[in-house]
Amino acid sequence: MWNQVRKLQKNKTLKYGIPMLLLVVGGSFGLREFTQIRYDAQKIKRKLDPTLEARVNPQKQSVILEEEYEKLKDMDLGGWQNIRGPRPWEDSRETQDQQRSRLNKGT
């Protein structure tokens, strides 16, 4: 009997293979439980405030878009100038002063 136990202890499949297999299969089940907890927590956090939910509701979305269109329709979107910002190696105050002087000369 002790002879058989020693043979089993020397067997590499029993010594390394079965613990590895148990670790992989058991880890799979453990990760499934942990990820399920994660998704359940996200579901709880995702619940929206009723005021925000009304704004996100797709049936009311067209009304909100029409309101935004009315706001934008009254704005003057054609009267703007493209002003270059300073480069990292340039002095920002100097560049801003130059831009302001060009704008004042143009008007």
DSSP of 27-85: HHHHHHHHHHHHHHHHHHHTPPPHHHHHHH-HHHHHHHHHHHHHHHHTS--S-----PP
Structure token pair of residue 45: 């956090």
Average pLDDT of the residues in 76-87: 78
Tell me phi and psi for residue 37, to 5 degrees. Answer: -65, -40
Fill in the amino acid letter for 1: M
Fill in the amino acid letter for 24: V
Q: Using CA atoms, how far apart are residues 81 and 1, in angstroms rounded to an integer?
A: 94
pTM of the model as a whole: 0.34
pLDDT tens across 9-65, in order?
A: 788 888 888 889 999 999 999 899 988 988 888 887 777 666 666 666 666 666 677
